[in-house]
Amino acid sequence: MTPAEQAVRAAIARRGPIPLDEVVEIALYHPQVGFYATGGRAGREGDFLTSPEVGPLFGAVVARSLDGWWIEAGRPDAFAVVEVGAGPGTLARTILAAKPACAPALRYVLVERSAAQRARHAEGLSLEDPAAAFASPLEPTDDREPTSAVMPSGPIVVSLAELPRLPGPTVVLANELLDNLPFRLLQRTDTGWAEVRLGLDGDGLAEVLVPVAAAGLPAAEPGARLPVSAAITDWVRDAVALAGPGGRVVAFDYVASSVDLVSRPWTEWVRTYRQHDRGSMPFEALGTQDITCEVAVDQIVPAPIVSTQADWLRRQGIDDLVAEGRRIWQERAAIGDLAAIRARSRITEAEALLDPTGLGAFHVLEWPGR
């Protein structure tokens, strides 16, 4: 029995069968025994790869996007970008390595609730005190005359455990965060919908169906299952508020409609990963494997603007970066230096990021700030 399962069993013993979002919360995010607290993470040396771990090209495209949004905002002296669910910091490193034009104004905030993953942010990133990231450009004097203050030059990078409160428009980024947020699970029965909970069965855990009143759900055959995530709705609400008027929220993830989800076996859209392989059943080996769930995009309020990751990357200029890589490779292939190798790698990275059967089929969800 894993320590995370012991924690789940203790919760059940206190209160009876518990919803699966509580199980996922413990399995992934418990500060002592959760998957991310005990070493689970993205990366080649971790348990799974996301787009930033393919190579630096994804971060370079996002950097181009940040430049465009910074210009749209009027090139502010302080340009706030908050990456939520930053993991070990790979996306931030690749964005900064691309040397975006907005770098002198950039205030980049990594938000990661796992202390173990936050500890990795200092590897290759020069972290600053959060108070230094958002100094005001004007400070009143005693006679109320404004005086120019020296704005600290960026990029300034800070690492936090939770969402900050920031003034002004903010860009909020999230790469494969929504699929990792806790979710409840509903099952269609002969008489209506029921919630799947976990209870005790001797030395093991067992599913328990609890009838629930549910409206607005798609038609489904008995036995069909559907995820419902209040955590996603809450996150979108908070992220949109943080972005504020003139800001934006951009989330990269894999999504599906509720109609699609109820038509497929639930173990196709609730998946586990460990050391780059598929793990065991979702609620086995708790705390030792990642648990992800495809995002029911039609359940999100407010509704996002949705595009495939491949289409979004092309709109943001990935083809230009690949063409530049080919040119550099042709010029420096005979030298074979690091610049040539990096340029050549853009081609293979782009193939992976745009593959319609792989990462290219992921989606980008966007919301304007409010």
Output the average pLDDT for the chain: 90
pLDDT at 9: 96
Of the pLDDT bands very low, low, confident and very high (cuts 50, 70, 90), residue 151 is: low
E-only strand ranges, 43-84: 79-84
What are the angstrom distances between the C-alpha of 330 and each of 109, 226, 317, 334, 344?
Answer: 37, 51, 20, 8, 9
Is there a domain that residue 43 lies in? no
Of the pLDDT bands very low, low, confident and very high (cuts 50, 70, 90), residue 149 is: low
Is there a domain that residue 64 lies in? yes
pLDDT digits (tens, 9 = 90+) for 169-210: 999 999 999 999 999 999 999 999 999 999 998 888 999 999
Please report where in the chains the tokens 């990462």 appear, as a residue. 359
Is there a domain that residue 112 lies in? yes
Is there a domain that residue 235 lies in? no
Is there a domain that residue 290 lies in? no
pLDDT digits (tens, 9 = 90+) for 302-356: 999 999 999 999 999 999 999 988 887 777 776 767 777 787 888 999 999 999 9
pTM across the whole model: 0.91
Cα distance between residue 6 and residue 9, in whole Å: 5
pLDDT digits (tens, 9 = 90+) for 17-50: 999 999 999 999 999 999 999 887 766 666 667 8
CATH number at residue 169: 3.40.50
Is there a domain that residue 207 lies in? no
Q: What is the mean pLDDT of residues 70-91?
A: 95
- Count of structural domains within the chain: 1
Residues 6+ apart with CB under 8 A from 340: 328, 329, 332, 333
Is there a domain that residue 340 lies in? yes
Q: Which of 49-63, 94-108, 119-133, 332-346 has the lowest mean pLDDT?
A: 332-346
Is there a domain that residue 249 lies in? no
Owning domain of residue 356? 51-179+306-364
